[in-house]
Amino acid sequence: MTAALVAALERLVGSRWVRHRRAELATYAADGLPTHESFPGIVVLPESKEEVAAVLRLLHLLEVPFVARGAGTGLSGGALAERESVLVTLTRMNRILEIRPAQRRAIVQPGVINARLSEAVASHGLHYVPDPSSQSACTIGGNVAENAGGPHCLKYGVTTNHVTALELVLPDGTSARLGSAHGEPWGPDLAGLFIGSEGMFGIAVEITVRLEPIPRQVRTIHADFMALRDASEAVSAIIASGIVPAALEMMDQSCVRAVEASIYATGARTDAAAVLLVELDGSPEAVAADGTVVDRLLREHGAREVAVATSAPDRARLWQGRKKAFGALGRIAPDLAVQDAVVPRSVLPEILDRIAAIRDRLGLQISNVFHAGDGNLHPCISFDRRDADQARRVQLASREIMEACLAAGGSITGEHGVGSDKMEYMPKAFDAASLDLMCEVRRAFDPAGRANPGKVFPLHTCREWRQGGVV
Amino acid sequence: MSDRAFERLRNLLGPEGVERDPRGLPRAVPESDDALALVCQTAQFEGWKARVEGQGSWLPPDGPADFALSTRGMARIVRVSAADLVATVQAGTTLESIRAELQKHRLWLALDPPGRPDRTIGSIVASGTSGPLRHGFGPVRDHVLGCTVATGDGRLVDAGGQVVKNVAGYDLTKLHVGGFGGFGVLTELHLRLRAQPAMDATYLARGGRQALAGAGQSAVESQVGLVALELLAPAIAAVPEWTLAARLGGTVDGAHAEAARLAAVTGLTWEQLPVERAAAFWSLVARAPLSGEVALRLGGLLDGLPDLTDLVIEMLGEGLLAAGLGTGALRWAGDAEAEALKALRHRAAEREVPLTLERAPWPIRRVVGHFGAYREGVGLLVDRLRATFDPNGVIAVALEGRE
């Protein structure tokens, strides 16, 4: 990176908001993925959409690649930049621009922290539904890039179901407005295409989100099981009953023990093989009626104890245990690899058995905390990256888990994205023609391929790279 | 040209795979996605334009093209996974056959699109036409987990997957839902299902438009748990007054409780329809748009819906208007001139409301376009994407419209 580029960026956003010394860059050299580290060439922190456009125009003219970044909580290495790239960090763009209660919409800048949005609209009886476990730190812009989910997406859908319009700055510095406040696309559904594109199509500088009424009543049910398979079958029975819980989460014994040994303890018994957290919401009458059915199904499938959180603090305590599980697991070992994969719900018991077998064979500690209702697994591998052999086994276990999920008809990621971490699995998930087409679609937004280069698609899967004779 | 295309297609697909449509145009009816892709490759090579259709029951078969390409030969339900609530179906499968198959498993595809029951799922997805159930279950895009598509140049590509959560790669499925075929021909779909609720009840109230809209708004604000809440013009239900139709489902006790709340918060007198009459009523609502030449949808917001309804009635008349009071989605069907539709689109755009033309004769589609003019920066993106998926313009579709 040249001094001239630094100076030019400083003129655009102010010298305080351009970082280029190694010590300053260290903050941005990692995200939530412990196995990857990469120092960007320069970090720039624009404050407005105009500044973002000016920065991207400059980088376009100079043909410099860039990576957009929110809070850096991503778990797939998607927000890491190489030293040839400029990291455009959007945390200063953290204003809620408009709240429209009558329309149940809000317009936010990309750096708004997920949980802050719900807090800001709570006085209107509304909330923003997608609730990743990192919601106290992650940004809405990052959620858009990854199409983030969360426990309550079982009933209400993921980010793409809650973002209705986007204002973009494209990689050449020009603007585009996608979607509409209602959500009906203004043309083809380009907003739907943009969401989850992992920062490779441009930067969303204004995001219109759908707000939902805070449910009139919420019931959180905690059930423990002495067999993991019983808990999995209880999940299937609840879904098959026609009831759609707001959330349906599972933690295995290893995870429960980690939580109960931490400050996030919920009082759960640690001899259980699995714990289910079922949340119902709606009118008091419907919640009561559905609650009776769920209680019966849990017991019929072997629940040892079924308890209902009777107060808001009780509910908050149970959810803290679930959402801070990753933090609790982080205490076990120096590093934690949080994996993300999806399987058809019906194969949950088999895939959990398979993960246990991989764990035992490779001598690793793997804990499971996941969105059981939609088959979205998060095997968490505790390890020490300084132990090269252990790190190798972690990689091997991750690969075997991904391959098992794909073989079961699942996906390599349900909400964390592909990023740098899972590129190698993409050719296993998609055939060459489908991968080629995705590479071509990217060029519609970014003909030069300068936005978040080197992510999602292994280079050799793109047709023009192959045609270039490199292979 | 027509005879040559007919012969060429017959050589490709065999005598069973090609026929003449009522206007004498060759109609290719491939029975597999490979064969369909081959037809696209051939069309690209020959420089032909294809008019894509399912059963031909929604869009009139009148677009200029060298041949029709129908998915009606691909009507197989590939797989129903009751435990996973996922079905895989070929694009030419009709909605009624999907419903019949799912009924055996006590499952449900929570889509009630306009049109006849023999509409193909490919047509419904390509046009993004949802119905009143959008209130409870979202628009068409929320029901499609993944798809296989033949691009205009004959590549078979996959998008999305078969699981309910999936962020591997770009979400290309979104381009195809409501893309009117502009980005390829759907050949197979993975659909999200639901278990049939223990109770599914329909309630109707009749009265003046404003009074019903106000009462419906109360139900929305009070969070009555409904799966549909539709305000219907008199012509739809063939009654003198407007109708407010509410549908609710769930456990029996829960549904009864919601019905009681509905009555309490709206202050209306509701008639509960017996099961058979309820099915007939919703079938009537679905078929209503076919009574007119034109069907369109507008995406409004909750607080703007009364004004938007006034605007549509002022410019096009009451017609067969249906408004989702909990979603802001408004559908109008009837007869209208192109100029009136363009004028309405313009007035709606002033309110930041998009108008999508769902159905119309070709002379109107050609001029008005399904989407009309795009907003800032979008036109170039759409052009590039169209060139990516259909580089030689094989698929004849009027996305933008022109003078």
Q: Does A296 touch chain B (CB under 8 A)?
A: no
pLDDT at residue number B221: 94
Its sign, for the CA torsion A420, A425, A429, A434, is: positive
Residues of chain B neighbouring A414 (CB-CB closer than 8 A): 163, 165-167
Q: Is B311 exposed, middle or buried (0-12, 13-18, 19+ CB in 10 A)?
A: buried
For chain B, give every residue range classified as CATH 3.30.43.10.
2-70
**pTM of this prediction?**
0.96
Q: What is the rounded average pLDDT for all residues in chain A?
A: 93
Angle at A49 between CA A44 and CA A50, to 5 degrees: 90
Interchain CB contacts (distance < 8 Å): A and B: 262
Examine the fold and report which residue of A164, A182, A213 is the final residue of a domain before the chain moves on: A213
Q: Is B21 exposed, middle or buried (0-12, 13-18, 19+ CB in 10 A)?
A: middle
CATH number, domain with residue A161: 3.30.465.10
Residues of chain A neighbouring B297 (CB-CB closer than 8 A): 184
DSSP-derived 3-state class of residue A429: helix
Of A37-46, A455-464, B135-144, B381-390, least confident by mean pLDDT is A455-464
User: What domain range is A153 assigned to?
Assistant: 96-213
Q: Is B175 in Cβ contact with A187 (below 8 Å)?
A: no
Residue A154 lies in a domain: yes
Residue A415 lies in a domain: no
DSSP-derived secondary structure for A214-270: PPSEEEEEEEEESSHHHHHHHHHHHHHTT---SEEEEEEHHHHHHHHTSTT-----T
Instruction: Give me the mean pLDDT over the A386-414 stretch.
Output: 95
Residue A122 lies in a domain: yes
Residues A245 and A351 in one domain: yes
Q: Which of A180, A346, A423 to mutate to test the interface with B (most CBs of B within 10 A)?
A: A180
Q: Give the pLDDT band (50/70/90) at residue A8.
A: very high
Greatest Cα pair distance in chain A? 70
Question: In this structure, what token pair is assigned to residue A224?
Answer: 């423990």
What is the CATH number that goes with domain B292-361?
3.30.70
Q: Is B158 in Cβ contact with A444 (below 8 Å)?
A: no
Residue A98, pLDDT > 90, answer: yes
Q: Is B304 in Cβ contact with A197 (below 8 Å)?
A: no
Give A 368-407 residues with CB within 8 A of chain B: 371, 374-376
Q: Residues A103-155: pLDDT tens digits?
A: 999 999 999 999 999 999 999 999 999 999 899 999 999 999 999 999 999 99
pLDDT at residue number A466: 55
For chain B, give every residue range classified as CATH 3.30.70.600.
199-273
Residues A85 and A101 in one domain: no
Residue A345 lies in a domain: yes
Q: Are A422 and A338 in contact (CB under 8 A)?
A: no
Residues A374 and A231 in one domain: yes
CATH class of the domain whose range is B199-273: alpha beta
Of A148-152, A329-333, A467-471, B303-307, least confident by mean pLDDT is A467-471
Residue A249 lies in a domain: yes
Q: What percent of chain A has pLDDT over 90?
A: 85
Examine the fold and report which residue of A213, A248, A268 is the final residue of a domain before the chain moves on: A213
Alpha helices in A386-450 (DSSP H): 388-407, 426-429, 432-445
Residue A414 lies in a domain: no
pLDDT at residue number A286: 86
CB atoms within 10 A of CB A466: 14
Q: Does A251 touch chain B (CB under 8 A)?
A: no
In angstroms, the separation between the Cα of residue B239 and the nearest Cα of chain A is 30
Nearest by CB to residue B301, choosing from A182, A283, A412, is A182
Q: Is B81 in Cβ contact with A344 (below 8 Å)?
A: yes
Query: CA B124 to CA B131: how far, in whole Å?
Result: 10
Residue A181 phi/psi, 5-degree rounding, is: -60, -40
Interface predicted TM-score (ipTM) of this complex, two decimals? 0.97
Ramachandran category for residue A243: left, alpha or beta (phi over 0 → left; psi -120 to 50 → alpha)? beta
Q: Which of A129, A154, A184, A218 to mutate to test the interface with B (most CBs of B within 10 A)?
A: A184
pLDDT at residue number A468: 46
Q: Residues A54-71: pLDDT tens digits?
A: 999 999 999 999 999 999
Choice between B381 and A282, residue whose per-residue pLDDT is larger: B381
CATH class of the domain whose range is B2-70: alpha beta
Q: Residues A177-200: pLDDT tens digits?
A: 999 999 999 899 999 999 999 999
In angstroms, the separation between the Cα of residue A401 and the nearest Cα of chain B is 15
Residue A470, pLDDT > 50, answer: no
Nearest by CB to residue B178, choosing from A102, A181, A188, is A188
Instruction: Give me the mean pLDDT over the A414-433 stretch.
Output: 94
pLDDT at residue number A181: 94
Q: Which of A347, A411, A428, A435 to mutate to test the interface with B (most CBs of B within 10 A)?
A: A411
Instruction: Report the number of distinct structural domains present in chain A.
Output: 4
In angstroms, the separation between the Cα of residue A253 and the nearest Cα of chain B is 25
pLDDT at residue number A1: 67
* Strand order across the A96-100 sheet: A96-100, A105-108, A203-210, A163-169, A175-179
CATH 3.30.465.10 correct for B77-195? yes
For chain B, give every residue range classified as CATH 3.30.465.10.
77-195
Residues A226 and A153 in one domain: no
Residue A85 lies in a domain: yes
Residue A53 phi/psi, 5-degree rounding, is: -60, -40
DSSP-derived 3-state class of residue A58: helix
Residues A105 and A140 in one domain: yes
Examine the fold and report which residue of A361, A382, A407 is the final residue of a domain before the chain moves on: A407
User: Could you say which residues of chain B have pLDDT below 70?
Assistant: 1, 403
Residues of chain A neighbouring B330 (CB-CB closer than 8 A): none
Query: CA B218 to CA B213: how far, in whole Å?
Result: 9
Residues of chain A neighbouring B353 (CB-CB closer than 8 A): 180, 182, 184
**In DSSP terms, which residues pair with A207 in a beta bridge?**
A108, A166
In angstroms, the separation between the Cα of residue B217 and the nearest Cα of chain A is 11
Q: Is B169 in Cβ contact with A426 (below 8 Å)?
A: yes
Q: Which of A154, A182, A249 to mutate to test the interface with B (most CBs of B within 10 A)?
A: A182
CATH number, domain with residue A65: 3.30.43.10
